[in-house]
């Protein structure tokens, strides 16, 4: 039987999801609620192998919609932090330029780890296959796909979904495009037990996110669960800068001194974020796919989330788009007669909405880490506030 005539109604499709992040797990969960089996192949050996990152705000029309379609509304409300939706914009001197402390908004924060745990606990045993780092994928003569993993195991599927992030190994099956450096690097660090150990900084950041922007640089701090503040020091700097600047993330003393030098003329209240932080520094260069990235339809393969439309975090849409992608793909698979029809129905709307979000992310990054910052970001925040007031 040719691949494009496989009928979902008459044959259980073999669906492989590469990547166990929020997008891949959401897809598996919604398919499970519709009695369509799928297997998630995750390269990590267990759920606790590495930190999952900071806090996320889930939007009603995307991330929260996916949660609802997954049947996890109650579980989400138990981990969502509705009290941490505040936003602040500061100058480099530490002066507050804008503040929005409306805790009635419907974009609650949730820690990435808590979100992933919620999704994992909703899946049947065996759906996630840990320790499966994909080596290669190729199409067989019958139209199916053979997946070869680093552990030596091989799997065959009718549909392979690349939910494997920025450096997706499934993307090359449909697109030759690779992410490019945006020109901006974040250096991540944090403060623990802030309410007791760092009360002044806890008040500075508030219950939500704080942005201090100027001179092609920024200090972005966000309150996470368990009284933790995660900080990103962002700057425009050439790719490969670590080899020429003397920065060493493995040496906390050198890393801290280097950052303090970069922000030497900033306010002391902001520099305290660097002085008092813990000793874990992580370099995160920001990469993006081209705005409007798309590909020609190929039977048996598709992408979601960062694998499809990697963008900077300055749109606030990354995980929301990934989860909405998953929800829409699961919906299409359950409603269309063939896998090909489902993938076609999913991809075109996904291309359209991700292009809009990518353009916003590009504009947001250009405004935030800019020579005249925070002027553009302040104007944007005020426009958003005015629009909300008019509604």
Domains of the chain by start residue, with CATH: 3-81+107-179+289-368 (3.50.50.60), 182-287 (3.30.9.60)
pLDDT of residue 11: 66
- Mind listing the pLDDT tens digit for each residue in 125-151? 999 999 999 999 999 999 999 999 999
State how far the alpha carbon of 16 is from the alpha carbons of 163, 297, 299, 309, in Å.
10, 18, 14, 20
pLDDT in tens, 190-231: 999 999 999 999 999 999 999 999 999 999 999 999 999 999
Averaged pLDDT for residues 24-49: 96
Distance CA 292, CA 348 (A): 11
Nearest partner of 322 among 23, 20, 42, judged by Cα? 23
Measured at the CA of 180, the angle between CA 296 and CA 110, to 5 degrees, comes to 90
Residue 3 pLDDT greater than 50, yes or no: no
Question: Tokens 């067989």 correspond to what residue?
Answer: 140
pLDDT at 6 over 50: no
CA distance 109 to 359: 23
Beta bridge partners of 155: 147
Q: What pLDDT does residue 102 have?
A: 64
Residue 110: partners with Cβ closer than 8 Å, 6 or more residues away: 55, 56, 57, 58, 76, 79, 80, 81
How does residue 48 score in pLDDT terms, banded at 50, 70 and 90?
A: confident
pLDDT above 90 covers what percent of the chain? 86
Q: What is the pLDDT of residue 39?
A: 98
Residues 274-278, mean pLDDT to the nearest whole number: 97
pLDDT in tens, 156-178: 999 999 999 999 999 999 999 99
**What does the pLDDT look like over 302-337, one tens digit per residue?**
999 999 999 999 888 999 999 999 999 999 999 999
- In this prediction, residues 373-386 reach a mean pLDDT of 89
State whether residue 149 is helix, strand or coil.
Answer: strand
303 touches 346 (CB < 8 A): no
pLDDT score recorded for residue 4: 43
pLDDT at residue 9, rounded to an integer: 47
- What pLDDT digit, counting tens, does each position of 230-271 carry? 999 999 999 989 889 999 999 999 999 999 999 999 999 999
Burial class (CB in 10 A: 0-12, 13-18, 19+), 131: middle
Percent of the chain past pLDDT 70, that is, above it, reads 95
* The pLDDT of residue 298 is above 50: yes
Average pLDDT, the chain: 93
How far is Cα 356 from Cα 291, in angstroms, rounded to an integer? 8
Residue 168 has what pLDDT? 98
- Give the per-residue pLDDT at 33: 98
Q: What is the pLDDT of residues 94-132, one digit of tens each?
A: 999 999 876 556 889 999 999 999 999 999 999 999 999
Handedness of CA 318, 86, 79, 113 (dihedral sign): positive
- Residue 304 near residue 161, CB atoms below 8 Å: yes
A 10 A CB-CB count for 24 gives: 28
């Amino acid at each position: 039987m040719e691949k494009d005539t496989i009928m979902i109604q008459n044959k259980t499709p073999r669906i492989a999801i590469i990547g166990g992040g929020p997008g891949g797990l959401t897809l598996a969960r919604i398919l499970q609620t519709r009695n369509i089996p799928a297997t998630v192949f995750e390269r990590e050996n267990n759920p606790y192998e590495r930190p999952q990152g900071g806090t996320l705000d889930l939007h009603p029309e995307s991330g929260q919609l996916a949660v609802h379609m997954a049947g996890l509304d109650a579980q989400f409300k138990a981990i969502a932090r509705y009290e941490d939706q505040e936003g602040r914009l500061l100058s480099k001197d530490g002066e507050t330029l804008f503040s929005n402390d409306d805790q009635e908004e419907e974009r609650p924060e949730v820690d990435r780890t808590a979100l992933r745990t919620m999704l994992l606990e909703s899946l049947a045993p065996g759906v996630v296959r840990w320790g499966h780092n994909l080596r290669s994928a190729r199409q067989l003569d019958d139209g199916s796909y053979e997946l070869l993993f680093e552990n030596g195991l091989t799997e065959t599927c009718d549909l392979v979904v690349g939910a494997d992030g920025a450096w997706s190994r499934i993307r090359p099956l449909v697109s030759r495009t690779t992410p490019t450096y945006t020109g901006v690097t974040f250096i991540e660090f944090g403060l623990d037990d802030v309410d007791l150990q760092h009360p002044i900084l806890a008040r500075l950041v508030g219950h939500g996110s704080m942005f201090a922007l100027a001179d092609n640089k920024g200090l972005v701090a966000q309150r996470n669960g368990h009284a933790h503040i995660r900080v990103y020091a962002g700057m425009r700097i050439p790719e490969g800068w670590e080899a020429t600047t003397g920065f060493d993330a493995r040496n906390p003393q050198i890393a801290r001194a280097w950052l303090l030098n970069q922000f030497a003329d900033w306010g002391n209240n902001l520099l305290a974020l660097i002085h008092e932080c813990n000793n874990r520094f992580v370099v995160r260069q920001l990469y993006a796919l081209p705005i409007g990235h798309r590909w020609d339809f190929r039977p048996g393969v598709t992408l979601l989330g960062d694998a499809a439309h990697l963008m900077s975090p300055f749109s606030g849409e990354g995980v929301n788009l990934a989860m909405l992608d998953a929800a829409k793909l699961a919906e299409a698979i359950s409603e269309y007669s063939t896998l090909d029809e489902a993938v076609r129905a999913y991809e075109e709307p996904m291309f359209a909405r991700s292009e809009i979000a990518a353009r916003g992310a590009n504009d947001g990054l250009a405004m935030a880490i800019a020579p005249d910052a925070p002027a553009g970001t302040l104007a944007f925040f005020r426009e958003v506030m005015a629009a909300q007031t008019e509604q």
